[in-house]
Structure 1
């Protein structure tokens, strides 16, 4: 049930979480505002990187375009797995398990489980998928994913192990799914000869 007690994960790395959030409590307001803004809106960067991957893939072969087109679907599928795991594990947010813990944002409602971090899952899944489409975009996404994961602990939303699990889940699932998407190359090849050609091939 959404409002029922969940698993207390503070025994895993609650001490590290407390140390990090204590640093956040005493950090300059500009740093905290920047981290909070990144946490709230940073996922938009990953969407922009996916669009960029599609745009660049117009110059690539059909297998690579198939991977680029599949990236949003891959990320959505991985996030779906994350939601299932959250409900299965039912780990309470650290702001509920650790009394008087400092957070930069209000504590999520009961039933908004903590493990794994959804932000980390999305960020690292995107990075893994983009690495298999265009390495430079993948590298940018990887750095942004690390920053997103760190922000989730800094603002007090997740334990470090939530972020680590989210990163592992994102990479472990997104990489093989993106490779599997290469099988859509024949469809892309046919589509490049039809009405969708302007969206799939760059002008000569």
Structure 2
């Protein structure tokens, strides 16, 4: 008989439904915000980027915009090591999420080429914290925001306790790209939606594959089993 600690949670439970509904509401909210901020993208960009460039926060924004994503990558690596040692099923959820991360990035690159939106720092005369990327390095959607959301969602699905930390960090990283002057607000909101959606879809679609993995790859290490 399978010990309770090793059983999969019952699908469609109340907690899962609550999380699913909350996620849908958050993503829908981001879509609405992205659409609405597109209409006022220029004044909003001038206000945010212009204010930050002249403020004492500029060095911190520059650091976050350039290196904040690396913190999420390191977090994902930490979750991977911990889950492999303590909860193998969570490890494979993270692996499935990693597939979503790659898919999100590739999708964002294709969309960038198709839309070919100029960076705001090329079309709006505002001093920026970061140098403006070269022409041809398109703006919509934000790759940084896409990857930030993708890594965050992969981590929170594999290790729910990380949710407050990774969610906040993803939002900060995305926002820093606007504050640094290299993206519009709708760029980063769209990136957040794309990254989160791609990872959730990957985890859902790959769930049957994960469930069919050999028991030797999914059972908890002996030191952490409950009997």
Determine if the TM-score, normalized by the shorter chain, exceeds 0.5: yes
1:1-204 alignment runs, 5 A limit: 12-28=40-56, 31-58=57-84, 59-62=86-89, 64-98=90-124, 100-186=125-211, 188-190=213-215, 192=217, 202=221, 204=223
Shift of 1:127: 1.4
Give ranges in structure 1 of 5+ residues lacking alignment.
Answer: 1-8, 194-199
Q: Is the Cα–Cα contact under 8 Å of residues 115 and 162 in structure 1 kept in the other structure?
A: yes
Q: Distance in 1 between matches of 2:172 and 2:73?
A: 16
Aligned to 1:196: none
Q: Distance in 2 between matches of 1:142 and 1:61?
A: 23
Structure 1 residues 61 and 111, CA, compared in 2 at 3 Å: closer, same or farther?
same
Q: Is the Cα–Cα contact under 8 Å of residues 46 and 126 in structure 1 kept in the other structure?
A: yes
Aligned length: 186
More helix by share: 2
Q: Distance in 2 between matches of 1:154 and 1:143?
A: 16
Deviations 1:51-102 (A, max 9, x none): 122123232253x32112233332111100000000010000001111x212
Q: Is the Cα–Cα contact under 8 Å of residues 146 and 192 in structure 2 kept in the other structure?
A: yes
Q: Distance in 1 between matches of 2:68 and 2:46?
A: 24
Deviations 1:2-43 (A, max 9, x none): xxxxxxx98641100000112113211xx2111111111111
Q: Distance in 1 between matches of 2:112 and 2:163?
A: 27
TM-score by length of 1: 0.82
Structure 1 residues 187 and 10, CA, compared in 2 at 3 Å: closer, same or farther?
closer
- Please tell me the root mean square deviation across aligned C-alpha atoms, in Å: 2.2
